[in-house]
Amino acid sequence: MDKAKILARSELFKTLPPAALAAVAAKCEAVRFKEAEPLAVEGRAGDALYVIAEGHVDYVKRMDEKSGLVLLRWGPGDVVGLNPVMEGGAHHVSALAVKPVKCLRLAADDLRALCAADPSLEHRVLAQTLLIQSGRLRQITVRLREFLAKIIK
Amino acid sequence: MIQREDMKGNRLFREFNDYELDMVRVVVEESLYQEGEAVLTEGEPGKRLYLIAEGKCSVTTQVPGAGTEEISSLEAGEFFGEMSLLESAPVSASVYARGRCRLFWIDRKAFERLLDEDMPVANKLLQAIVLTFCERERETTRKMESYYRMSRF
């Protein structure tokens, strides 16, 4: 698995120059998840982010004890666990592998250390984070609107 | 020119020192809005980042079959309009003044200049928006959960 190549295709890291990509790649670990296995669990602390290399992941909000609502589906290049890493809190939704998933795991502490050492890397990562978050928020607002319309019906 | 103290009250600038605040306040403008007046209209191009200095704003969206629904309420110290500025996309929800509102605003060009000119200032600004986005996403998904629970009664 060429880690730098996977990172270069990801939404979060695609604007990094080669040297910065190599620095991030050196801190990443290749990991696999089986079908239905969680990459993130709602309520649990998020200590790492995952860059999807292969497969798809559902972003699921728990509605009650028995059911959950799929808010978004992520694929190669997307990043799981971004918000808890950025704010240092718990996952507010779960992320479940739809089928077997291959991805890169980057520990939150490693990302923070990379950013602290290189303000230009931090700048690019923050700018891309905002674009990712903004897009997601837009999609989730559309889901909220659809959800409300369904409930009202 | 806007006073430093007025700027410090906004969550976007909480971590800014006086020098950094001075860099920003030269590009900030001020407008007053009256009860019910539209600040942003869903679907229109986003041109400004707004900061609420005094008063409250209501964020609404069109829900098919139900008309206009309030999805959020914003108070002094909060900001809005950044999503469409970052993505160069249309505004995703409308914002109305609830009562008399004093708003500060930064237009697209000035905002982009702030992000380009000084990296520490840019990174603080980006960091503050990232944290706010984390909060907004959490609130939106929580809202879905509560709508779901209400629909079960």
User: Per the structure, how many domains does chain B have?
Assistant: 1
User: Distance from A31 to chain B by nearest Cα, in Å?
Assistant: 26
The per-residue pLDDT for B67 is 83
Instruction: Report the run of H or E that residue A20 belongs to, with start and end.
Output: helix A18-27
Q: Residue A44 — pLDDT band, cuts 50, 70, 90? A: very high
Residues in chain B, total: 153
Inside any domain, residue B152:
no
Our measurement of the distance from residue A45's CA atom to the centroid of its chain's CA atoms, rounded to an integer in Å, reads 14
Given CB atoms, is B27 within the 8 Å cutoff of chain A?
no
- Residues in chain A within 8 Å Cβ distance of B148: 63-64, 69, 147, 151
The answer to whether the CB of A31 falls within 8 A of the CB of A100 is no
For residue B19, give Cα distances in angstroms to A107, B16, B51, B150. 34, 8, 19, 49
Any domain includes B126? yes
Asked if the C-beta of B142 comes within 8 angstroms of chain A's C-beta atoms, the answer is yes
B102: in domain: yes
Find the largest Cα–Cα distance for chain A. Answer: 54
A103–chain B nearest CA distance, Å: 23
What is the value of pTM for the model shown?
0.90
Residues of chain B contacting A143 with CB distance shorter than 8 Å: 144
With vertex at residue A102, the alpha carbon angle to CA A96 and CA A105, rounded to the nearest 5 degrees, is 85
Which has the closest alpha carbon to A60: A85, A34, A92, A95? A95
Say which CATH number the domain at B137 has.
2.60.120.10
> Which residues on adjacent β-strands are paired with residue B96?
B38, B58
For residue range A53-99, what is the model confidence (pLDDT) as tens digits? Answer: 999 999 999 888 888 889 999 999 999 999 999 999 899 999 999 99
Q: How confident is the model at residue A151 (pLDDT cuts 50, 70, 90)?
A: confident
What average pLDDT score do residues A132-139 get? Answer: 89
Asked if B152 reaches chain A (Cβ–Cβ under 8 Å), the answer is: yes
Domain that includes residue B68, residue range = 4-147
CB B31 within 8 A of CB B41: no
Q: Is it the case that residue A1 has pLDDT exceeding 80?
A: no
CB atoms within 10 A of CB A29: 12
Closest CA to B47 of B2, B96, B88, B102: B88
pLDDT range class, residue A120, cuts 50, 70, 90: very high
Residue B60 CB neighbour total at 10 angstroms: 19
For residue B27, give the H/E element and its range: none
> What are the structural domains, with CATH classification, of chain A?
3-152 (2.60.120.10)
- What b-and-e string marks burial along B3-14, b requiring 16 or more CB atoms within 10 Å of the CB? ebebbebbbbbe
Nearest CA distance, B124 vs chain A (angstrom): 9
Chain B hits for A90, CB-CB cut-off 8 Å, are: none
**Does some domain include residue B140?**
yes
Q: Does any domain span residue B28?
A: yes
Tokens representing B51 are 């900061």
* pLDDT level of residue A122 (50, 70, 90 thresholds): very high
Which chain B residues touch A147 with a CB distance below 8 Å? 144, 147-148
B108 within a domain of the structure (yes/no)? yes
Indicate the SS3 state at residue B2. Answer: coil
